[in-house]
């Protein structure tokens, strides 16, 4: 694994002039951020050695380097989900590579179903913690060069970055919620009983991504900021049929405020 990470990072360094300070995983709601990146240098995942090979046609993904405001960034357009059949080492490999490229912060976005009755569809939720219900990406041999065997998770989501987000959101007049993200494998959405269960165990929202990448970022000692768009509600009395299309539609509608929030946050780092 170590050789693969180094090989991939060396390849990227040989092709790309930008030295990224910030890694961004462009999930639902941040797709539009790509258009704000200046002086872009782009690598297709398919051309990057050791990157997972996409099975879905037309969704290969790209790694985009460039300047977002005053910061150099590396942005993943397209992430790898466990439910697609990738193993957890593949899902999180890009985070290992971004660490090798020396990023100082990781920003992540996603879509999720709200189980907190105070939430509304279209809300942005800053992750203050998570509950992991997926296989842990750190299972198996631990490489001390990458991080510790028994990882502390008392501050999975950087309090400093959350404070910056709160300040920025207030300045921009963007309403934000805070909450605990329950990470499940998917690909099924939840039954009403599962939504209720996730609320009872302390969740505010549930989704199918983010947690593996966050665990590996923390293993790599990278501070993380993650934000979710509540695209549907798993709240008793408000549960309606969910579809991928609906999730995408609500996600797209929240894109402008999410993009502005992140862009302005970077200026404060």
Q: Which residues are near ligand HPA by CB under 6 A?
A: 111-113, 189-190, 206-208, 231-232, 234, 242, 247
Q: Which is nearer to ligand HPA, 92 or 184 (CB)?
A: 184
Least spacing, CB of residue 190 vs ligand HPA, in Å: 5
Shortest-Cβ-distance residue relative to ligand HPA: 113
CA separation for the pair 261, 172 (Å, rounded): 8
Least spacing, CB of residue 16 vs ligand HPA, in Å: 32
Q: Which is nearer to ligand HPA, 19 or 249 (CB)?
A: 249
CA separation for the pair 262, 255 (Å, rounded): 11
Q: Which is nearer to ligand HPA, 21 or 204 (CB)?
A: 204
Least spacing, CB of residue 211 vs ligand HPA, in Å: 12
CA separation for the pair 54, 58 (Å, rounded): 9
Neighbours of 35 (CB within 10 A): 8
- Tokens 């297709």 map to which residue? 44
Q: Is the separation of the CB atoms in 206 and 112 below 8 Å?
A: yes
Least spacing, CB of residue 163 vs ligand HPA, in Å: 27
Residue 99, φ and ψ in degrees, nearest 5: -60, -45
CA separation for the pair 4, 48 (Å, rounded): 11
Q: Which is nearer to ligand HPA, 112 or 116 (CB)?
A: 112
Q: Which is nearer to ligand HPA, 16 or 242 (CB)?
A: 242
Least spacing, CB of residue 210 vs ligand HPA, in Å: 10
Least spacing, CB of residue 63 vs ligand HPA, in Å: 24
Q: Which is nearer to ligand HPA, 8 or 228 (CB)?
A: 228
CA separation for the pair 263, 69 (Å, rounded): 7
Q: Which is nearer to ligand HPA, 50 or 228 (CB)?
A: 228
Provide the phi-psi class of 176: left if phi over 0, else alpha when psi is between -120 and 50, else beta: beta
Least spacing, CB of residue 126 vs ligand HPA, in Å: 16
């Amino acid at each position: 694994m170590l050789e693969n990470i180094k090989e991939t990072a060396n390849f990227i360094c040989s092709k790309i002039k930008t030295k990224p300070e910030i890694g961004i995983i462009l999930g639902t709601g941040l797709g539009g951020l790509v258009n704000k990146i200046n002086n872009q240098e782009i690598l297709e995942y398919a051309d990057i050695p050791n990157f997972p090979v996409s099975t879905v046609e037309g969704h290969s993904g790209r790694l985009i380097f460039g300047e977002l405001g005053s910061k150099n960034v590396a942005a993943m357009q397209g992430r790898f989900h466990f439910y697609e059949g990738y193993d957890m080492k593949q899902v999180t490999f890009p985070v290992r590579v971004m660490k090798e490229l020396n990023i100082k912060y990781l920003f992540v976005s996603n879509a999720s179903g709200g189980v907190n009755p105070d939430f509304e569809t279209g809300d942005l939720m800053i992750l203050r913690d998570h509950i992991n219900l997926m296989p842990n990406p750190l299972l198996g041999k631990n490489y001390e060069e990458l991080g510790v065997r028994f990882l502390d998770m008392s501050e999975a989501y950087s309090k400093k970055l959350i404070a910056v987000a709160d300040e920025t959101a207030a300045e921009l007049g963007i309403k934000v919620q805070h909450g605990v993200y329950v990470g499940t494998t998917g690909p099924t959405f939840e039954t009403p009983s599962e939504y209720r269960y996730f609320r009872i165990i302390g969740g505010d929202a549930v989704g199918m991504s983010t947690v593996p990448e966050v665990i590996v970022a923390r293993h790599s000692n990278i501070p993380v900021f993650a934000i979710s768009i509540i695209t549907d509600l798993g709240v008793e009395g408000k549960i309606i049929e969910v579809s991928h299309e609906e999730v995408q539609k609500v996600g797209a509608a929240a894109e402008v405020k999410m993009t502005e929030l992140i862009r302005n946050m970077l200026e404060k780092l």
